[in-house]
Structures are given as structure tokens and as C-alpha cells.
Structure 1
Amino acid sequence: EDVITPIIGMIGGFDFSSFVITVNNSNIAIGNFINAVINFLLIAFVLFSIIKAMNKAAAVVKKPEEEPAAPTTKICPYCKSEIAIEATRCPHCTSQLEG
């Protein structure tokens, strides 16, 4: 507990943990609140960086996309209906199909 802010206090010359405001004979430890906010922001930044790196790594290892499946239907050249690709005669207009 309170590992990071004393280090910041040594660098900046001010220790937040001892910062107290007195209002109507009651002490409000504003320094502890500042410590909690700084700790939260540092932990949030570290987690954000880790998750961002993991997402970037997952995008690199992304599975190759599947090739589109071969078509199973075609359009009748006479009536423009959708029919099976193996059909030799259109079931809608009964036209003889080539191939």
C-alpha cells in the first residue's frame, strides 16, 4: 500500500499521504484520496496497454478467411429464375439448357 506515491513525493519533493484538510475539527485525508486516484490511473493505464497489446497480437495471429463456397445455383437465361447448377431443363419455363 502506498508504494508509488512516496516515490513520486521523493522526486517532486512533496508527500501526498500526509496532506490533510481540517474542516470543523474533522480531518479529511485528501492525500489518501490523491494516492488512490494516482494508483487507479496507473493500474488502468497498465491494463489498457496490456489489453491493447493482446488485441494487436491476436490480429496478427488471426485465422485465414475461408474461401467462398462454390455456387450451387445459376440463373436460367430465358426466364431469369434461379435453378440448380446441375439442371439441364428449367423447372419454371421448361427451356432446354446448354451444358
Structure 2
Amino acid sequence: MAKFFQEFREFAVKGNVVDMAVGIIIGGAFTLIVQSLVRDVMNPVIGLLVGGIDFSRLFFVLREGSVSAPYATLAEAQAAGAVTLNLGLFLNAVVSFTIVALAVFMLVRAINRLKREEVEAPKSPVEKACPYCFMTVPIKATRCGHCTSDLSAPREA
């Protein structure tokens, strides 16, 4: 049993698990911000542009509840036990997803751009051409493995 807890502790404190947990927490907070942006900022503006429609109130009654229709709000319909098709809430979710996906795309794009801009140190050559037979040999070779020429002596012109 002690070994189980030791393995669990090692798993739980690994860098990847902690990084994932932080990402999920930040993602949850970011989702709340995006939902508020959609609900409180974008939807009223879009509603004004399309004739005053409040998307959060856009629903269709499929079956009336204990109190007959019409229902002024979705909450009123749900309180009456009506079965509703909540298109407005779905549209809000689609807009929220689109904004989150765009933000993640922009973040990944910026990270990829930074990775491309990292200047890699030029690598030292590991091979050279034999000046006699022009075959490739290791840079530290003192004799060509193809023509057996001595590579440490300067080539005569």
C-alpha cells in the first residue's frame, strides 16, 4: 500500500500534471471571461444590429408545461415544465467557442512564431570532402577511408 501512495505522489507532482492542472484552472477562468464577453457585450450589440433580438431569450416551445404558453422568458417556460428548444443558448455557446478557439489559435501562432525566431547556433561540420577522391569522410579523419590518402598532410597543387 505504501508503494501505491509513493507512485501516486510521484505521478501527482510530475511537472506535466502540475502544468496541466494550471492550464485547466486558467482555461476555466478564461472561459468565464469569454462567456461574459459574449453574453454582456457582443450579444446586445448583435441584437441591436438584427432588430433588438436577445439571443439568450431565443427559444421555441416544443411541448407546453403545466402553465400554458406564451412564456415571456426561457426561465418561465422551464419553471412551468415546458420542453423547449434553446437556440439562443446554443448560439451563445457557438460564439463563445469561436472566441476561445480564436484566442487559442492566436496564442499558438505567437508561440510558433517565437520558436521560429529563435536563432540556432550554426552546427559544426561533422564531415569533409577528401581533397584527393572527393568522397565524404569524418571531419576528424586523418586518412581517407576510400582512397587511403593521408589527410593530415597538405595537398600538393
TM-score (norm 1): 0.63
1:6 aligns with 2:48: no
* Consecutive unaligned residues in structure 1, runs of 5 or more: none
Which residue, out of 67, 85, 88, partners 2:141?
85
The structure with the greater share of residues assigned to helix is: 2
- Between the two structures, name the one with larger relative contact order (CA 8 Å, sep ≥ 6): 2
Q: Percent identity?
A: 22
Give 1:22 deviation, angstroms. Answer: 1.1
What pairs with 1:1-99 in structure 2 (closer than 5 Å)? 1=36, 2-3=39-40, 4-12=42-50, 13-25=52-64, 26-60=83-117, 62-71=118-127, 74=130, 77=133, 85-87=141-143, 97-98=149-150, 99=153
Check 1:43–1:91 CA distance in 2 against 1; reply closer, same or farther (3 A cut).
Answer: closer
> Highest Rg: 1 or 2?
1
Once superposed, what is the RMSD of the aligned Cα atoms?
A: 3.4
Secondary structure at the residue paired with 2:46?
A: helix
Secondary structure at the residue paired with 2:84?
A: strand
Give 1:40 deviation, angstroms. Answer: 0.8
